[in-house]
Chain A
């Protein structure tokens, strides 16, 4: 029994140390132009979803979405998000340059609610290419983007028409 406890203590010291050395010796691969493994994708996706869900649980949408707020959100999306997240009404082009790859929002299946989307846009997601937009947008704008993203697959045609930049 004493040896069992001793073995347990040893693992608590040795395992983290091995993990640390694995990183310090540069054995972890850094190349971003390959796809993450299924295990890594699943683990991280669930961790992010669970954390966002916990953090955004107290938030509720401040007002109903209207075509106007959707156009405001859509214009912000066109100006700030399409570069990585993909344009509306263009064929799907999977991302292979970021690790983890950036979800192509006009096509992606999402489990995130509107307040959760607001929270992600505002705070960003650690250890991904998703940066925080809180410093650059007002609360109203952040909610408009969230409302737009929540409905990105079922936008009224007049919203899609109104949000595109005017052709010169």
Chain B
């Protein structure tokens, strides 16, 4: 039994040293312009979604969802998110594809995240991706309107779809 434990400890130590050595010798490819493998993509997206699901507090959207709030959120999206996440009715963003992992194209694939989870991700960002925290840049209210818009992006009422195209009057 003692030998078993010693063997386990030695094996663990070797694994850790092996990983550190692999990184230290520069053997890990760091290029972002190679698409992630299926396994990495799965592990990463599952891990992120599981963590978001676990950590997102039970919040209630304080902004009543209406055409007006969706249009406001949509305009935010067009101003600040389309560069990476793609514009509605447009081909996927070429810029978003140059990140590793690539930026999800909400206009094309929608999102598996709930409205509250989208709010949480927009506010706090996602580690080790291109997604930065938007909390310092936007009010809570605006982040909620953005979240409402993104979570409904694939089935927007036509009035909203038209509304976000209009140029602001100022």
Partner-B contacts on A (CB < 8 A):
1-12, 14-16, 20, 23-33, 43-44, 46-55, 96-100, 122-136
Question: A8-B14, A134-B33 given. 13 additional CB < 8 A pairs?
Answer: A3-B4, A4-B4, A9-B11, A11-B7, A11-B9, A11-B12, A24-B47, A29-B51, A32-B125, A48-B30, A100-B128, A127-B129, A128-B32
Cα separation A24 to B43 with both chains bound (whole Å): 7
Cα separation A167 to B11 with both chains bound (whole Å): 64
8 contacts between A and B (CB under 8 A): A3-B3, A7-B5, A14-B8, A26-B50, A31-B133, A33-B133, A97-B137, A131-B98
Cα separation A122 to B32 with both chains bound (whole Å): 9
Cα separation A132 to B101 with both chains bound (whole Å): 12
Cα separation A10 to B98 with both chains bound (whole Å): 39
Cβ-based interface call for B165 (8 A): no
Contacts of B164 in A (CB 8 A): none
Cβ-based interface call for B24 (8 A): yes
Contact with A along B128-143 (1 / 0, CB 8 A): 1111111111000000
In the assembled complex, how far is the CB of residue A96 from the closest CB belonging to chain B, in whole angstroms?
7
Contact with A along B22-56 (1 / 0, CB 8 A): 01111111111100000000010011111111110
Contacts of B124 in A (CB 8 A): 30-33
Contacting A at CB under 8 A, from B109-139, are 124-137
Contacts of B53 in A (CB 8 A): 26
**B130 touching A26, Cβ below 8 Å:** no
Cα separation A9 to B14 with both chains bound (whole Å): 11
Partner-A contacts on B (CB < 8 A):
1-12, 14-15, 20, 23-33, 43, 46-55, 94-95, 98-101, 124-137
In the assembled complex, how far is the CB of residue A88 from the closest CB belonging to chain B, in whole angstroms?
22
In the assembled complex, how far is the CB of residue B154 from the closest CB belonging to chain A, in whole angstroms?
24
Cα separation A96 to B27 with both chains bound (whole Å): 29
Our pick among A1, A10, A27, A47 for the contact of B11 (Cβ within 8 Å) is: A10
Given A48-B30, A123-B31, A123-B33, check contact A8 B128 (CB 8 Å): no
**B99 touching A29, Cβ below 8 Å:** no
In the assembled complex, how far is the CB of residue B128 from the closest CB belonging to chain A, in whole angstroms?
4
Contacts of B33 in A (CB 8 A): 122-124, 132, 134-135
Cα separation A85 to B30 with both chains bound (whole Å): 19
Cα separation A161 to B150 with both chains bound (whole Å): 42
**B55 touching A8, Cβ below 8 Å:** no
